[in-house]
Amino acid sequence: MSDMPVSNRVRKVVKESEEVRTIFLEDNVPGAIPGQFVMVWLPGVDEKPYALSYMDGEAAVTVQRRGKFTDEIFKLKKGDYIGVGGPYGNGFDVDVCKRPCIIAGGIGIAPLAPLAEKLARKKPIIIMGAATKEKLIFRERMEKVCKVEHTTDDGSCGRKCFASDILEEVIEKCRVDVVYGCGPEMMLKRVFEICRKNRVECQLSLERYMHCGLGVCGSCAVDGYRVCVDGPVFSSKQLSRMSEFGRFARLKYGKKVGLSEYYAWRE
Amino acid sequence: MRNPTVLSSGFLGVNVEMLKRVVQEGAGAVTFKSIGPKVKSGHRNPTVLAYEWGMINAVGLPSPGYKDMEGELARMKEVGAPVFVSIYGASVEEFREVAEAVAGYNPAVIELNVSCPNTKAEGMVFGCSEKHSAEVVAAVKDVAGKVPVMPKLTSQALDVGRVAKACEEAGADAIAAINTVGPGMLINIEAKKPVLDYKRGGISGPAIRPIAVRCVYDIYEVVDIPILGIGGVTEGRDVIELMQAGATAVGIGSGIYYRGIDVFKKVCEEMKIWMKENGYKDVKKLIGVAHE
Ligand SMILES: Cc1cc2nc3c(=O)[nH]c(=O)nc-3n(C[C@H](O)[C@H](O)[C@H](O)COP(=O)(O)O)c2cc1C
Ligand code: FES
């Protein structure tokens, strides 16, 4: 067994929006399924987890600009070195659904886009939300696959509300049986509650700071679960057992803080 | 302890819920991740790697400091198995300060990390020297009250047996051995850079098992207090090997990577089978038999 960054190169960079880039890799990440992630290493800079936004022969990660590390990712161009470890984590379980709904908040669409493509035959409904129209990335990619409901905070595309505001309506109207979600954790918490109320299963992808990605260090803990190995995708049953979900996360040095402090630190 | 396996320090022990989980997965006792005197942010990633024969890490003892861990420490009883608390400091005074705060929560053991190779100021200097290790033990004993004190030693000491003996004489109630070995380094030859951001890291896992066995053997020869044997355990046979070398209980860390978080259950099952096949009823009968 060996787990460390594998040398790769950038095949191309696609600008999805002002603040988002997709980095396509020259070498594929074999065996990955939607919802799994890779550890991206920029030598001398840092290493962080990113969900695979493309797979099956054309692996890519989609990155939102945030801080020092992503500034460096934004400088990458074709042919540049990039270390890639993984794939890691469990990924979404696609066998359990008949009528899936996919709900994405902002960059949360990254792991959900390949999921939507994989589920295409089951005619999923996608709810994509973002602050503005410009920030609704993968819009065309998703519209090709299935029915898409858009929401924006400013009303520049689709309905002017949060993605989770229309979930209940979609669940009822389309007789959804499983909801797949990724996005800010406050949104996911609402998604979880709506699903519970409507007796619909959900599978939500969580995010925490990660050191090892290998299930040994505990930095990604949510209660007794490790986001890197037990997750990042968790079922309704697992989520219902988590007291920290939607409330607390840990900073790099292990301090437990409220979610808003965690997100402020991530920026 | 219901079985001789212990979750080693630095692995998963960030909160009570995770420790409870590890107990459910079969551990006989668990250890809180090393706690220091103040906030320490640890190193940048990559911090943990696995190569063919072992793991190498330079996490750098990240810790929120004991004050921010008090909420978790206060709930220790909920874990449902003995809880060890690992502490570190950059000076005898710091060890004393953290130990005093931690002892108030009455853990099963206070483990002294005098041996981490990944940080420059903390630890290493103490673990290599008989005198310094003994000073830390004496200072901590002074404030620990009834809580047993267990220094965790390093294979890097010239004579680990002598360090252990000095600790015993200073009042240590048990000895843990060993911490990670090295430091070592791995270079990514295409990037032409060390893979760990900190460049050097401590080696653990199967690669260091023979070193751990030798250290436990050496220590058993010279001390009378119990030994927690740590290093490279992934199977039941490895626990038995360390016990035959002299360990009373055995720490497991990297084994979580190799066998999964239920490594504790698996290892105990494998031990049971071996013991049955070899006519042992009581695990205690295994301790130190390789010396006879
Ligand atoms: C990622 C990682 C973090 C560790 N952190 C600590 C620590 O904080 N304190 C400590 O005393 N030992 C620490 N160790 C050392 C382990 O507790 C143990 O002594 C060593 O890994 C050998 O055991 P193993 O082969 O079962 O992993 C760490 C080891 C690893 C791999
Ligand atoms: S990142 Fe280390 S356990 Fe998940």
Is the torsion defined by CA of A126, A127, A131, A132 positive or negative? positive
How far is A83 from chain B, CA to nearest CA, in Å?
Answer: 8
Chain B residues in contact with A212 (beta carbon < 8 A): 47-48, 57, 59
**Chain A residue at shortest CA distance from B24:** A224
Give the domain A2-88 fold: Elongation Factor Tu (Ef-tu); domain 3 (2.40.30)
Rounded-to-integer distance, Cα A102 and Cα A94, Å? 12
* pLDDT single digits (tens) B15-31: 999 999 999 999 999 99
Exposed / middle / buried, residue A44 (Cβ in 10 Å: 0-12, 13-18, 19+): exposed
Return the pLDDT at B261.
98
Q: Which residues, other chains included, contact B146 with Cβ-Cβ below 8 Å and sequence gap of 6+?
A: none
What is the nearest CA distance from A225 to chain B, expressed in angstroms? 7
Query: What one-character DSSP code corresponds to residue B283?
Result: G
Class of domain A92-205: alpha beta
Contact A219 B62 (CB under 8 A): yes
Taking the Cβ of residue A243 and every Cβ of chain B, the question of whether any pair is shorter than 8 Å is answered with yes
Which tokens in the block code for residue B180? 């990670």
Is the distance from CB of B127 to CB of B156 less than 8 angstroms? yes
Distance from the Cα of B44 to chain A's closest Cα (Å) equals 6
List B116, B128, B167, B268, catalytic entry: B116
If one counts every other C-beta atom within 10 angstroms of the C-beta of residue A144, the result is 12
**Element spanning A6, H or E:** strand A6-17
Of B21, B47, B191, the CB nearest to A211: B47
Pocket of ligand 2 (CB under 6 A): A 210-213, 215-220, 226, 228
Report phi then psi at A50, rounded to 5. -140, 140
A1 Cβ contact list (under 8 Å, min separation 6)? B50, B52, B257, B258
Packing angle between helix B160-169 and helix B209-222, nearest 10 degrees? 50
Residues of chain B with pLDDT under 50: none
Q: Do B193 and A212 touch (CB under 8 A)?
A: no
From B256, which residue of chain A is nearest by alpha-carbon distance?
Answer: A216
Q: Is the CB of B152 under 6 A from ligand 1?
A: yes
Contact B18 A2 (CB under 8 A): no
Across the interface, whether the CB atoms of B12 and A218 are under 8 A apart is answered yes
pLDDT at residue B233, as a whole number: 98
Contact B282/A at CB under 8 A: no
Peptide bond connecting A232 to the previous residue in cis, omega within 30 degrees of 0: yes
Supply the pLDDT for residue B125: 67
B251-290 pLDDT tens trace: 999 999 999 999 999 999 999 999 999 999 999 999 999 9
Reading across the β-sheet that carries B249-252, which strands appear in turn? Answer: B5-7, B249-252, B227-230, B175-177, B149-153, B109-113, B83-87, B30-35
Which atom of ligand 1 lies closest to the CA of B251? 26
Where do the domains of chain A lie? Answer: 2-88, 92-205, 209-267
Question: Does B254 contact ligand 1 (Cβ within 6 A)?
Answer: yes
What's domain B5-291's architecture? Alpha-Beta Barrel (3.20)
Please compute Rg for chain A using Cα positions: 17
- Which of B79, B11, B28 is CA-nearest to residue B255? B11
Alpha-carbon torsion, ordered B262, B266, B271, B272, to 10 deg: 110
Instruction: Tell me which residue of B151, B291, B289 sits closest to B218, measured CA to CA.
Output: B291
Residues in contact with B170: Cβ distance below 8 Å, sequence separation at least 6, in sequence order: B133, B134, B135, B137, B138, B141
**Does the Cβ of B34 fall within 6 Å of ligand 1?**
yes
The number of the ligand 1 atom at minimal distance from the alpha carbon of B152 is: 11
Strand partners, B83: B30
The per-residue pLDDT for B116 is 65
Is B256:B266 a contact under the CB 8 Å cutoff? no
Q: Cα-atom radius of gyration of chain B, to the nearest Å?
A: 18
Across chain A, which has 267 residues, the per-10-residue mean pLDDT values are 92 96 95 96 96 93 94 96 96 94 96 96 94 94 93 93 92 94 96 96 96 95 96 97 92 86 83
Q: What is the ipTM of this complex?
A: 0.93
Tens digits of residue pLDDT in B81-107? 999 999 998 889 999 999 999 999 999
Please report, for chain B, the start and end positions of each structural domain, with discontinuous segments joined by +: 5-291
Cα(B159) to ligand 1 centroid in Å equals: 21
